[in-house]
Chains A and B, each alone.
Chain A
Amino acid sequence: MTLLAAKNISRHFGGLRAVDDVSLTVERGEIHAVIGTNGAGKSTLINVLCGEIEPTSGRVELMGRDVTRWTQPRRAQEGLGRSYQRTTIFPNFTVRENCRLSAQAKWQKPWDWFTPAMRCNSSATAAENALQRTGLASLADAVAATLSHGAKRQLEIAMCLATAPQILLLDEPLAGMDSEETERMLELLNELKVSHAILLVEHDMDAVFRVSDLITVMVNGRVLASDTPQAIRANAEVQEAYLGAHLEERVTH
């Protein structure tokens, strides 16, 4: 089932066409990876999809509804979660509170001033689940700023999961993770894809070709090719424009 669809999305910054007429869909049960060199427009695309910036033209559809004019919080409420390439957490809160506060978005009750937030069981439970899934449970009471880089990346994902999204837009979740953390994250992505639709922007090509069901290659804001990993690997145009010999030696060995 198509949960998220981009239809002819363009985003121009002055004369620069950061994203140029991009269409793609993300289905439940699949990981759709977007790859491309730095500056290919991947992060801009994610920002348009989640509502952080408006497209210059084109449509964003969430579960069949046109959400192009919706604000980011409203899309998030409807099940669109994202993670950030640059770690975007609450550094001076504990790991648990980072997740609990994210989860609280579903149970906000801002008028209830006389119940402490800690007694909101729904958000506490959602936070615990997110911590368990991402393997952060043992670090729950640590202050987020004190975590290692890899653990902060995991927290980034945990905070996204805590909001119980149906669609995950993950912006380079593996950046800076060591091999063990990468393995765990890939395992998690495989678990999550059963019940979620996942759009994955990632530079780690080995990982992308291992977990993706569909790969879209972007060059200079445009879609160069969109196909299965096998077909992308064999695509001469892609090899020339982006992957080159580099890919051959890495994925065909």
Chain B
Amino acid sequence: MMNLRSSWSLLVLLVFAVMFPSFGEKYYVDLVMKIMILSVFALSLQLLVGQTGLVSFGHAAFFGIGAYVAALLSPQSGPASFWLLFPAALGAAGLYALAVGALSMRTRGIYFIMVTLAFAQMAYYVFHDTKVGGGSDGIYLYFRPEIAIGSVRLLDLGQPLVFYFFVFAALVLTFLLLAAAQASRFGRALAGIRVNEQRMRAAGFATYPYKLAAFVVAATLAGVAGFLYALKDGYVNPEILSWHQSGAVLLMIILGGIGSLRGAVFGAIAFVALQEFYQSQAIFGSLAKHWQLPLGLTIIAFVALMPKGLIGLGAQLRSRKAI
């Protein structure tokens, strides 16, 4: 699964994430939380793109649906029950994925990319152009849900520190779940489909249900990320379903390294860090509002210089030394 050399970097991140709230400024604690949520999002796409070889350009739809369902089902007068809100958000994302996946899985390659994009844009315009979720203005979530059994409150997500570690736990669990899945027979079958679907069918694997399952699981986990995102900001708008967001999460796993769970986390960190850097007015002054240009150029440079992503960097440097 993972050797020691690759897991030390994760351990460092883990310790950092646990310690950070005790000394970090609020703004940066918030930023780390955003990175953790986007890491869950990127991890979910890694299952689809890195493991199964299905490049989806509509993954933001499921993130957005998870977020919108959390906001829409939360009453304005008080907290909703977590036990209702969480399954509802995941279920909605998963169900939409079941429909989208069942249809788009009949296409391949570039067509699959386009069909997933089309379905995501459909969802985007539903929230953007109708009054379902407040149109383009978005919608607020006033109270984070309550995690309680009977009248006993287990966790108060309203407290920033509790919510921080709740997000942290979600990330760790997502990572462990996907690591187990990758090493399992299910994961090996997905890898086989990525490498040679024809041979998998000849061996006796019905590949369509496997791909559909990967699609739905990936979408449900994206729904988890969206759910957390809505809770964190207390606000969602249609832009989180847009194709920019689908592109951003693809860029994260490309930056970090396709096919690696660590890569998804590193990619999310790198993407948010670069975005923050180029958006900083303290550094770039009035140029900061054109942050997308330098960000794009940097990503092009990254991809050109590190074809295997950040996690491939070590091996790349070692092999260069060897020459």
Chain A interface residues toward B at CB < 8 A: 50, 52, 71-74, 76-77, 81-82, 84, 88-93, 97, 101-102, 104-118, 120, 123, 159-160, 162-163
Specify which of B177, B185, B192, B195 is in contact with A112 (CB 8 Å cutoff).
B185
Contacts of B186 in A (CB 8 A): 109-113
Chain B residues within 8 Å of A84, by CB: 199, 202
Residues of B within 8 A of A (CB): 1, 177, 180-181, 183-189, 191-192, 195-196, 198-207, 210, 213
For B207, what are the chain A residues with a Cβ–Cβ distance below 8 Å?
Answer: 73
CA A232 to CA B171, docked complex, whole Å = 68
Complex Cα distance, B200 from A102, in Å, reads 7
Q: Is the CB of B185 within 8 A of A120?
A: yes
- The contact of B183 among A93, A118, A159, by CB within 8 Å, is A118
Q: Pick the contact of A108: B180, B181, B205 (CB < 8 A).
A: B205
Min CB gap B260→A, angstroms = 14
Q: Which of B183, B189, B201 contacts A101 (CB 8 A)?
A: B189
Closest CB-CB distance, B179 to chain A, in whole Å? 10
Task: Determine whether the beta carbon of A117 is less than 8 Å from that of B188.
Answer: yes
Most buried by A among B180, B192, B204, B205: B204
* Distance (whole angstroms) from the CB of B288 to the closest CB of chain A: 43
Check A108 against B196 for contact (C-beta < 8 Å).
no
Known: A88-B198, A89-B196. A117 touches B184 (CB 8 A): yes
**Cβ-defined contact, B204 with A163, below 8 A:** yes
Contact indicator A116/B195 (Cβ below 8 Å) = no
> Bound state CA distance, A117 and B192, in angstroms?
13
Closest A residue to B184 by beta carbon equals A113
Give A8 to B72 CA distance when docked, in angstroms: 61
Whether the Cβ atoms of A105 and B188 lie closer than 8 Å is no
- Contact of A76 with B201 at beta-carbon distance under 8 Å, contacts A71-B206, A112-B184, A113-B186 already known: yes
CA distance A113 to B188 in the complex (A): 11
Contacts of B202 in A (CB 8 A): 50, 52, 72, 76, 81-82, 84, 88, 160
Contact yes or no, A90 B195, CB < 8 A = yes
